[in-house]
Structures are given as C-alpha cells and as structure tokens.
Amino acid sequence: MPYVIGIDGGGTKTTCVFQKVEEYDPFLKPQREVNIGEGTNPLSVGFEQMTDRLHQLVQYGLEAQGILPGDVVGLCAGIAGTRLEANRLMVEHELKQLGQQLHLHPDAFYEVKSDLYVALRGAMQPADKEGILVICGTGSNAIGVSQAGHLIYNGGWGHILGDEGSGYSIGLQALKAVCKAYDRREYPTELTGMVLDALKLASEQELIHYIYREGKSKKEIASLARLVIEASTHSDRVAVAILSEAGDELVELVRGLMRKSASLHEAIPVTVAGSIFTYSDIIKNRFVEGLSVHRAGQYQPPYADPVEGAIKVAMEAISKPTI
C-alpha cells in the first residue's frame, strides 16, 4: 500500500508522520503515530547534520510502523531556513539522496517547503483558500496566502534583528526586568527570585557572567518565558506588561502583512501556532483583541498541526492514487 511522508522541521524539533494514500481525507484529523527528533534547520545545524537527523527519523518511522521503504511514493518536508530558493534546492537534493539511501520508491517525489508554509496549510480550515498564520515559539514570524495563492511573509529576522513577541524576546525581557528592578528602574518583580533560582545564581550581578561569558543559546533564553507566564498568573505587574507587549508585537506582524498586500483583507481568517500561544492566555487574548481593534482579520483556532500541512501538500502532489 502506498504511503507519503510529512515532515515539519523546525529549529528545535522535527516531526515526521506517515499517511496511507488510499485512506487520506482532508476533512478528517486522524490519530497518528508521530516520530519526533531534533531540529533540522540547515542554517543552524548545517546541511550534513540536517540530513543525518532526517535519515534517522524516517528510518525509525519506517521500522516502527512496519512500512516497506518501497511503498513510500512521496515526501513533503517543511524545513526552517529554506525560504531562500538556493537553500530550498539544497534541501531537496539532500532529500532525494536520502530517499535513495533508504530505498524509497524509485519514482518517489520530494517536495520542500518552508516550515511556515506547511504550518499555514495545516492550520487553515480544509475549505479555506486564504488565510494568515502567526507562529510564536522560540522565534516569531507570519505568513499569509491570498485567494490567488500568492504568499506574503513577515518577521523571521532572527533573534538579533527581530523575533519580537517570541519566547526568546520574552525571556530576554525577563532578564532585563530583573536588572532594572535591581537598579530601581523598574517595579519590584517576583521574576527576580524566579530567574535567579532557575539559573542557580546567587545575585543579580551574576547575570553579567551568565550572559556575556557563557554564550547562552536562544533556546536557553527562550526557556525563561515560562517563568514570565507563571509570574503573570500571580498578577505580577512586570510579567503581565511583558506578555501584553508581546501580544501587541504579534498583532503588528499581521498588520504588516496587510500593508504589504491589499489582497489580505479585514475578514481573512487569522490563526496561530507555537508554544507561546498555547501557554499564555494573556498573549493569546491580547492578540485576538488586537486583531479586532485594528480590523486585521478574523481569529479562528488552528485546524491541525504543521505536520498535517506537510501531508496535505504531499497529497496534492499526487496526480494518481497509486504508482
């Protein structure tokens, strides 16, 4: 029985699922066996490591589900870091090599899209032809698709140039708030004790060594966002302000998309994905309210996960039900 593979490859984790071609229904959300591995953004881990991780993930899935490699007739991978065509083509080449090594069907097709695109396709309702998606996890960015199929992007500049409203940005704001509170330039906040305990630091001044001498990763800084979310549930005014500002920044991603393209109108469906929206009611509510205030689309809950978008794209690439 023929299968297709859907992959959602982000900066911190990669998800892989398999779909029987003959059983696919875009209006159903099946319970799948999901295989999860490490991040596969080639700009972060390099193309060689990206390929190794994808190879391990696909191979494990084939073996765990008892699928014959030759039954796999197509693969769609939404991979972070592939918005540039040169990078997309390089990933496509690596996937074709991977398919040969794993002995997938000799006529199998390989579709490579940005992780943003497959996330958008997964989040949109099956009958929708247009929509906007804002993703907010470690980083932040947005994508819109018009009725005519034109794609418009916003954000995605990385943690130095952008990522406003993201987990990284929230974590960094938490560290800054602790420093400002110590200097009496900010209200006292319970973030001080929470951050110092989490980082195992004895005083605020040890933050200097923590940040500047130990080279902390984006993921480590972003992990501090959970402390801000926790403090906000205790009505800590500093934490609430940080999250409210993050929600406003995410609304600006949508407004920017609309300024870029008149085809994105005030009634267009807007949905979200990412851990920050999942765990912070303040950010999500602020975002939804902001859309209404600025007439920047109509919020609707996401339909399915990004990896389901990869499956949808893979199925669209099949002209016949079987090979």
**For the chain, what is the HEC assignment?**
CCEEEEEEECCCEEEEEEEEHHHCCCCCCCCCCCEEEECCCHHHHCHHHHHHHHHHHHHHHHHHHCCCHHHEEEEEEEECCCCCHHHHHHHHHHHHHHHHHHCCCCCCEEEEEEHHHHHHHHHCCCCCCCEEEEEECCCEEEEEECCCCCEEEEECCHHHHCCCCCHHHHHHHHHHHHHHHHCCCCCCCCHHHHHHHHHCCCCCCHHHHHHHCCCCCHHHHHCCHHHHHHHHCCCCHHHHHHHHHHHHHHHHHHHHHHHHCCCCCCCCEEEEECHHHHHCHHHHHHHHHHHHHCCCCEECCCCCCHHHHHHHHHHHCCCCCCC
Q: Are residues 151 and 71 both part of a single domain?
A: no
Q: Does residue 234 sit in the same domain as residue 273?
A: yes
Q: Are residues 242 and 139 in the same domain?
A: yes
pLDDT per residue over 28-45, tens digit each?
877 888 899 999 999 888
* 322 in any annotated domain: no
pLDDT at position 81 is 86
Average pLDDT over residues 274-280: 91
Residue whose tokens read 């593979």: 5
pLDDT, one tens digit per residue, over 46-103 is: 999 999 999 999 999 999 999 999 999 999 999 988 888 999 999 999 999 999 999 9
283, part of any domain: yes
Say if residue 235 is in the same domain as residue 268: yes
Residue 166 domain flag: yes
Provide the whole-model pTM: 0.83
**230 and 118 both lie in a single domain:** no
Q: Are residues 68 and 116 in the same domain?
A: yes
- What pLDDT does residue 274 have? 86
Please check whether residue 323 lies inside any domain of the structure: no
Does the structure show a pLDDT above 60 at 9? Answer: yes
CA distances from 162 to 66, 67, 150, 167, 220 (A): 43, 42, 24, 12, 17
What is the reported pLDDT for 216?
78
Give, to the nearest 10 degrees, the angle between helix 191-199 and helix 225-232.
150
**CATH code of the domain in which 61 resides:** 3.30.420.40
Q: Which of 129, 25, 135 lies closest to 78, judged by CA?
A: 135
151 and 113 within one domain: no
In the chain, the number of structural domains is: 2
| CB 32 within 8 Å of CB 79 | no
Do 182 and 261 lie in a common domain? yes
Task: With cut-offs at 50, 70 and 90, classify the pLDDT of residue 139.
Answer: confident
Residues 186 and 69 placed together within one structural domain of the fold = no
The confidence score (pLDDT) of residue 323 equals: 44
- Do 142 and 280 lie in one domain? The reply is yes
Would the pLDDT of 322 be above 90?
no
The residues pairing with 80 across neighbouring beta strands, listed in sequence order, are none
Q: Please indicate, yes or no, if residue 107 is contained in any of the structural domains.
A: yes
pLDDT, the chain, mean: 91
The reply to whether 89 and 140 lie within a common domain is no
Instruction: Band the pLDDT of 319: cuts 50, 70, 90.
Output: low
Domain that holds residue 31: 3-126+305-316
pLDDT at residue 284 greater than cutoff 70 = yes
Better pLDDT: 322 or 42: 42
Q: What is the pLDDT of residues 192-205, one digit of tens each?
A: 999 999 999 999 98
**Do 228 and 182 belong to one domain?**
yes
pLDDT at 218: 83
Query: What is the arrangement of strands in the sheet containing 13-20, beginning at the earlier edge strand?
Result: 35-38, 13-20, 3-9, 72-79, 109-114
